[in-house]
Chain A
Amino acid sequence: MKINGEEHEFPDGINVLQACERIGIDIPHFCYHPALRVAGSCRMCKVEVIQGGRKRIDISCNVPVQDGLEIITDSPAVKTARKMTLEFELANHPLDCPVCDVAGECNLQNYYMEYGLHDSRMNESKHTKHKATGIGRSIVHDGERCVLCSRCVRFLSDVTKTRELGIFGMGSKEELTVYPGASLDNDYAGNVVDLCPVGALTDKDFRFKRRSWFLSHTSSICQLCSRGCNVRIDYDVNPYHEHKRNIQMRTHRTETTEYARIQRIKPRHNEQVNDYWMCDHGRYGYRPTDSADRLLHPLLREDGELKQVKTSVAIKQAATAILSAIGRNPDKAAIIVSPLLTNEELFTVHRLFREKLNLPNLDHKLPIDSDWYGDNILRTPDPFPNRTGCEWIGLHPLPKGAGIADLDDAIAGGKINTLLSILADPRDYLKEASLKKLKNRFYILRNLPDELKAYTDIALPAAAWGEYKGTFTNFSGRIQRLNQAFKPLGEARPVWSIMLDLSILMKKTLSLKNFDDVFRAQRNKVHLLSELEWDDIGDTGVMALEKHVEAVA
């Protein structure tokens, strides 16, 4: 078929709007969304369609691509139609842009700049509807800004099937709102904010925090369950805020949301993983990265008290402690990692402690919080992002070794006296008595809760989500890439980098110098993919097995 005079070929089953997008022609639209059933109601996506010698203006979102079709996207008739549709959309739209959260990323505003730019001819009274009403845990609704595209309604009826929102009433008085008395609190509620093409549904969590144009974006992977939803971290590393935050963290140790770096999380489209969505647990689960209880500097117990020390001192001390504990008997130490570690981190832990030191007591099977549940949308039954990585790399106890389940007994019986717990709060899997009994309690953690301090001998700060790069392997065996958005706070470092130093000090050097070395080494060992490069993983990940089969073939 022809678009603007040029011949193109498209696969069956897509519509003209999608076809245009594929060849780089953006068609303005409000109601169309690739993951929702077509509504065809906003009338913004009009193009000229020539079919069987007859010309008509039609909505591109509901015209299937067909042989012999001719589409014109930039004729005067199309331009007039767009301009008028915008004028209709804006007829009753409030002049909220200066105070609207979505300004800067609002389709209505953008299209107006691109296709409208009319002076308002609307001199009649505008409708008044609900303003800034909380309609759920995290969603604020503004009826006047709504363009009634029904995206949110279709999402809630077809994806979550919870139907909290409806378009009630009739004609120009109708209003999108929550069912009287209901609350938009389902586990996927936050997605309606992403879907809303204007500022009618905004996120309480983000409202008035930052103007969208001050945000930087980095692609990453949600770390809160084994699906590994593809996400975008929106953050602000304005040095002034950084400075304020540092002061606040040092002096008050209060919540630092105001000056936090991560401002919000948005899902990224990945048909194979999360489509366009993410769950609210993941969306609002970014706070720990900037939380006030982050561990910023290494701590070491000296004369019965935890004191801040240099990283090199802490690592050296840890190396010595572990070496002396396992000097003659490697059974004396247990290394526990959380399936929260990236593949690169897991790999270095495994190489050092299993391959080099042959420790039998290595495990990752942390207990799962009883509040966690999976569903049939995105949430999986496993709240850890990288269990597959742990299994493939082999972070299991040896047959004669102790796993997490055996630890309390082993400690009570004096068989184990040294613990290295990585990104896992030992209280989650050990009894208090065990913590008391252990001789060496060495942690690599992102935050060190006050209650744990009494049971800490050495604590090294670990880089948090967003602060370093790496890969996760999700529940289906998909390798996905976390990118670094900003530098780690304080002296925090990724676990792999701590492991490299530790290995040198333990005289068991892994002979790896930097991230790239680690990435390649783990890839070679685990995925049998000697060709897989960081860039190959791309923003949407690769299926390890498929790649492997390809490589073998």
Chain B
Amino acid sequence: MSDTITTSSLAGVAEKLKPRYETSKAAMMPLLYEVQARDGYISPEAETEIAELLGVSPTEVHESVSFYPLLFEKPVGKYHIQFCHNISCSLVGAEPLIELLRKELGVGPGEVTEDGLFSYQRAECLGCCADAPVMLVNEELFGKLTEEKIRNIIEQLRAGKKPKNDTPLTETDEIEDPVLSVNFMVPNGANIKVAEQRGAYTALRKALKEMEPQKIIEEVKSAGLRGMGGAGFPAGLKWSFVPKDPTLTKYLCVNCDESEPGTCKDREIMRRDPHRLIEGAIIACRAFGAEKAYVYIRREFYHEKKVFDKAIEEARKAGYIGDNILDSGFSIDFVTHPGAGAYICGEETGLINSIEGKKGWPRIKPPFPALQGIFDKPTVVNNVETLSNIPYIINNGIDAYRRRGTEKSPGTKLFGVSGQVKRPGIFELPMGFSLRELIYGICGGMREGHLLKAVIPGGCSVPVLTADEIDVALDFESLEEGGTSLGSGGIIVMDDSVSMPWALEILERFYAHESCGQCTPCREGVMWMYKILQRMNNGRGRKGDIELLIDIANNIEGQTVCPLGAAAAWPVQAMLKKFRGEFEELIQ
């Protein structure tokens, strides 16, 4: 189902959207975007209008509108720019560029230029870290930005022209024996014809015709496929928690929120090989009996969502999605659902609430999603990359999959490398690959004249490694042993020009901004840590600050509704342990 709806009246749109979900409230997010497209922002009158159309209270609409950063409560410019100021972009000079943007436009963040043409906001990670620094102009992403490029873009837009977008395609390598990046370098790889020629949907045929659902689960279990969204939970095991009762409605939820700073891998699958994900997702649904897959795509992936929506339509036409697919008696539907700029919606239950049209507040557990997920029905949430492994496993079998990687972390993984290496990019590597080899080999080492200082190996939440600690294998167990985590495979590399208190302030600014506000330790504690760091970096460090930071972090970790609290605490704990001297210098 496409998201672009041509019916002119909002009521008509609402009626079209509602059947995609079990409750009419769930149609709120796409409907809000319709209004935002119509009015430029969401006015109180529009909130009431939507509330009436969906049969909910204006309060519920306003809770969402005020929660999500990409729902605007006041008008924005004709060209609204989101400039990433998170760690990967900051490492390669985002701040001076944002300053330039401010000067060029003559307005501050959140303001609109007098001619109504421009506005900008500082954005947290846009999920394109290997292309840093990046900005979105309305729906178009510009990467590898320089002062000159920004000036040019603004100039062109002012002149009413479409600016040239010369963002190079993210660096990647063709590797021997790939699982995930097989089609990354293939021209038109997202096209179903091309994909089919290269074997797409053969695994689906096999799974439907030759395998009992339980057998699919067993295969995936034995292959040892781990969750690639961050936690590494075995995928087959997760599916097996879903009740077998065939009378229950079940859902798959594909997590394409990809917003953990440093992580930019799912995006490549979405835009370069969407059929691999669709095929994997259908097989997963077949395995545990889901009748619908909700694909949650972060709003900033405008382009990726377009490609993916087109792929869904192609797959539908080709008979892979719909009723009784391939004459198997199995029916499956797909719904893509847009996010709205909140990192917390990557957390599986925040994501579920977001799909239901609510604020992305994570849920307390129990109940677990496997029993009560979307619309309180049994639900599996899987990451894009996790699901994209499945066609290969079904086609080639357990042993073929296990050829790569380690015993406990079999297979391959997509690593996104960002920061101050010569060649950032997205690389598929067998699990257990050496971190040193990745940085100095594949990524070409550090920028001229600089030495490696620190690496965050698994998305910005995981504990940092020092330059001396990079002789470690990139798999779940080895990194765990090394006191950190493989996380989402977003590797952020920092050189000796970087101040660790500065970097930590950027990270905590992110968590303070993204804390959903539901539970006390995270809501209050993370902002507190950020304020302390900010003060320290402003030359007003005090005795006791370091101890206080550690105490706050220790008491957030493990005390919250969802792991975001811990994710905010780990960087503080690790940085203060490994680079304490730099923080001590800030204390008078």
Contacts and interface: CB of A to CB of B under 8 A. Distances in A.
Interface of A: 38-44, 46, 57, 59, 62, 64, 80-81, 84-85, 88-89, 91-92, 121-125, 147-148, 162-174, 179-182
Nearest to A127: B527
Interface in B6-54: 44
A81 B517 contact: no
B59 A170 contact: no
Contacts of B528: 88, 91, 122, 124
B532 interface: yes
Contacts of B66: 168-170, 174
A45 B523 CA distance: 17
B555 A80 contact: yes
16 contacts: A41-B520, A41-B561, A43-B520, A43-B521, A57-B558, A64-B366, A84-B551, A91-B525, A124-B528, A168-B62, A169-B66, A172-B517, A172-B526, A179-B57, A179-B58, A181-B44
B44 A169 contact: no
A145 to B, nearest CB: 14
Contacts of A38: 364
Point out which of A89, A91, A122, A165 has the most chain B C-beta atoms below 10 A from its C-beta: A91
- The dominant DSSP class at the A interface is loop
Given A166-B60, A170-B342, A40 B364 contact: yes
Point out which of B66, B67, B520 has the most chain A C-beta atoms below 10 A from its C-beta: B520
A81 B542 CA distance: 25
Contact of A180 (B44, B359, B516): B44
Given A62-B364, A163-B60, A170 B517 contact: yes
B44 A171 contact: no
Interface stretch (B167-175, B419-427, B478-486, B507-515): B507-515
Nearest to B513: A171
Contacts of B560: 43
A84 B62 contact: no
B497 to A, nearest CB: 29
B548 A88 contact: no
Contacts of A168: 62-63, 66-67
Contact of A85 (B342, B521, B526): B521
A179 B561 contact: no
Interface of B: 44, 57-60, 62-63, 66-69, 342, 359, 364, 366, 512-521, 523-528, 531-532, 535, 542, 544, 548, 551, 555, 558-561
Given A40-B561, A57-B559, A179-B58, A169 B517 contact: yes
Nearest to A40: B364
B508 to A, nearest CB: 12
A148 B521 CA distance: 12
A84 B521 contact: yes
A124 B531 contact: yes
A46 to B, nearest CB: 7
Contacts of A182: 58-59
B224 to A, nearest CB: 24
B559 A43 contact: yes
Given A88-B524, A171-B527, A180-B44, A41 B555 contact: no
A186 to B, nearest CB: 12
A173 B519 CA distance: 13
Contacts of B58: 179, 182
Contact of A121 (B57, B67, B548): B548
B532 A124 contact: yes
A115 to B, nearest CB: 14
A377 to B, nearest CB: 17
B515 A172 contact: yes
Contacts of A125: 531
Contacts of B558: 57
Given A57-B559, A84-B555, A172-B524, A43 B62 contact: no
